[in-house]
Amino acid sequence: MIVAVLGASGNAGSEITRELARRGHVVRAIARNPDRIPTGDGITPVAGDAHDPATLADRLTGVDAVISALHFDVTADTLLTALRTAGVGRLLVTGGAASLEVASGQRLIDSPDFPPAWRDIAMGGIAFLEALRGVDDIDWTFFSPAAMIEPGPRTGQYRLGTDTLVTDNAGVSRISFADYAIAMVDELEAHRHPRARFTAAY
């Protein structure tokens, strides 16, 4: 596939870019600072600011799918407008874990130990997901990570979930950026969660 990665210079975006190229996809890697984008066969670095839907649409024209690894200061409306203008029908989003359930009816963000400093950023992700849930003309998928996503090895191992936080036997929810990227590209290829949210963790 020809895949555009938005935020391709960040931790998640750069790993997703590498994973796509590793599997033979053609990657249009878009970031405000293209000099920070990973290099390699199949990767074309492109300068672009996702806050401008008209400019972004120009960068997306001709791709089969878009994977967004952007922060949530870029709204769902901005991103969807750009996809519609470019004629792209598939969107996968690097989401947040805050809206995952940790108990029946209780989200991670509602937990008493959820860090207050992360709350505003987390609410942006929740708003983005809610906006996507009303969309039926774009084939979207929202990928909520584990509670902790961090540098680490590429093992190729993970467990899937939908709306509930996935934890290990010790109650810890974590995944490396490299394995997060594997799960994202697996979803791109297998298309298991159309117009839905999923999660993955060890």
Q: How many CB atoms lie within 10 A of CB 25?
A: 20
Torsion angle (degrees, nearest 10) of CA 56, 58, 64, 66:
-10
Strand partners, 174: 148
Radius of gyration (C-alpha) of the chain in whole angstroms: 16
Q: How far is CA 190 from the centre of its chain?
A: 16
**Both tokens of residue 4?**
């555009």
Q: Which CATH architecture has domain 2-201?
A: 3-Layer(aba) Sandwich (3.40)
pLDDT in tens, the chain (202 residues): 999 999 999 999 999 999 999 999 999 999 999 999 999 999 999 999 999 999 999 999 999 999 999 999 999 999 999 999 999 999 999 999 999 999 888 999 999 989 999 999 999 999 999 999 999 999 999 999 999 999 999 999 999 999 999 999 999 999 999 999 999 999 999 999 999 999 999 9
- Residue 175's φ and ψ, nearest 5 degrees, are -160, 150
Q: Contact, 195 vs 140, CB < 8 A? A: yes
Residue 103 burial (C-beta neighbours within 10 Å; 0-12, 13-18, 19+):
exposed
Q: Which of 32, 30, 124 is nearest to 75 (CA)?
A: 124
Beta strands in 36-193 (DSSP E): 43-47, 65-68, 90-94, 101-103, 106-107, 139-144, 148-150, 159-161, 174-176
Q: How far apart are CA 46 and CA 89, in angstroms?
A: 21
Q: How far apart are CA 120 and CA 34, in angstroms?
A: 28
* pLDDT for 105: 86
Q: Which amino acid is at 178?
A: A
Q: How far apart are CA 197 and CA 103, in angstroms?
A: 17
* pLDDT for 74: 94
